[in-house]
A = this chain, B = another copy of it.
Amino acid sequence: MGYLRNCWYVVSWSQDLAIGQPFGTVVIDEPVVVYRKQDGELVAFEDRCLHRFAPLSAGRCEGDRLRCMYHGLLFEPDGSIAEIPGQEQVPDQARLRRYPVAEKHSWVWVWMGDPAQADEKLIPPAVGYDNPDFVLGHGQIDYAAEARLVCDNLLDLSHLSFVHIDSFGAGDEWAGRVPKYTRRERSIRVERWMQADINARTQASEPMDRYQVYDFYLPGIFLMTGGNFPLGTGEKLGFAEPDLDDAISGVTFTSQAVSPTGPRTARYFFNWGPHRRHGDEAFRDQLMVLAGKAFAEDKAMIESQQTIIDFDPGRNPVPIKADKGVILYNRMLNAMLAEEEGATAEVASHGWAGQPVEAE
């Protein structure tokens, strides 16, 4: 499957990158090293010395520069060679590949495609630690599965009624009714009103209406919020979007990022927590325990799904109504890939793309 290159991928939590400590990772099957200059500004390179391909992430920061610790080549933040031990002249034209890198919403983002198109405005509006309204916890999980399968999971929350019975205690409502999908420019909005939901997580003792909404930004950012409203609010609003400031409880926000590392591996970053008016650190910690349990359930399901797919990768899925988001996502992704590299043919062969979609 082709990877989208002209997009921002999350590679780390902002707070995990200390000045002077190069960090090696893998994005769309390419090794990447990220480090901070003395002023905190980030630099991202291919994690491969020009000389004999040692990883620069095993290197040493020297001020703003990064030294390969195999034979000592020293690189400027622009990727040029500052120094080669044992020789006076250094080749002018040799350059490490440099990736645009950004820091926003507590995440470090890398742009793997055409640098000229790297626009920070394309970074989705996640909620990070710099947002004082939310009390957030966070975590990350490595998947032995394609990023695509993790995205599918997030694009169809009907699985809550089955995968997460023991964690979220989700009822039939999630699977019973297909939510509203709206195609946006680079994202899909998914909304649902759940009437008379008794949400155990908010200790609500009486029936309420719950509004839940997420935006899934392609290729893999999931931003979800919602809140509880007095019984009947949904109907009163004609099931339109409410003002979350009017919620009486249960307003939380979760930002999640699915980053493809290799053909069968992905890294999943998530935070979650209540709005300060709707919960405190103790509640955030409860949510983290819950997330730990629920995301382990997802991981088990998705990795076993990958195992089954690998027995016979050519199968075509039988589409159901709940696939709306997945189908919409695949259409949009295919279009973006096609625009980027004429990759339609290859991607369409996945079999998701040819399904009917009503939500547009």
Contacts and interface: CB of A to CB of B under 8 A. Distances in A.
A110 to B, nearest CB: 16
Interface string A55-82: 1001000000001111111000000000
A300 B230 CA distance: 61
A48 interface: yes
Contacts of A94: 318
A346 to B, nearest CB: 20
Interface stretch (A84-92, A214-222, A272-280): A84-92
Interface stretch (A121-129, A174-182, A335-343): A174-182
Contacts of A87: 178, 320-322
A122 to B, nearest CB: 26
A312 B30 CA distance: 9
A286 interface: no
Stoichiometry, as copies per complex, reads 3
Given A86-B176, A86-B177, A176-B86, A51 B317 contact: yes
A315 interface: yes
Contacts of A51: 317-320
Interface string A277-292: 0000000000000000
Interface stretch (A99-107, A158-166, A204-212): A158-166
A47 B317 CA distance: 14
Interface in A255-297: none
A301 B70 contact: yes
A320 B86 contact: yes
A71 B309 contact: no
B321 A86 contact: yes
Given A29-B311, A53-B308, A73-B320, A301 B85 contact: no
Interface residues of A, number: 54
A85 B175 contact: yes
A317 B85 contact: no
A49 B53 CA distance: 41
Nearest to A304: B55
A17 interface: no
Contacts of A163: 69-70
B305 A159 contact: no
Given A158-B71, A305-B70, A85 B31 contact: no
Which 7 pairs from chain A and chain B are nearest by CB? A85-B175, A87-B321, A50-B318, A69-B162, A54-B305, A72-B162, A48-B308
Given A55-B304, A55-B305, A86-B320, 13 more contacts: A30-B312, A48-B311, A52-B152, A53-B305, A54-B308, A70-B163, A71-B158, A72-B159, A85-B172, A85-B322, A86-B158, A86-B177, A94-B318
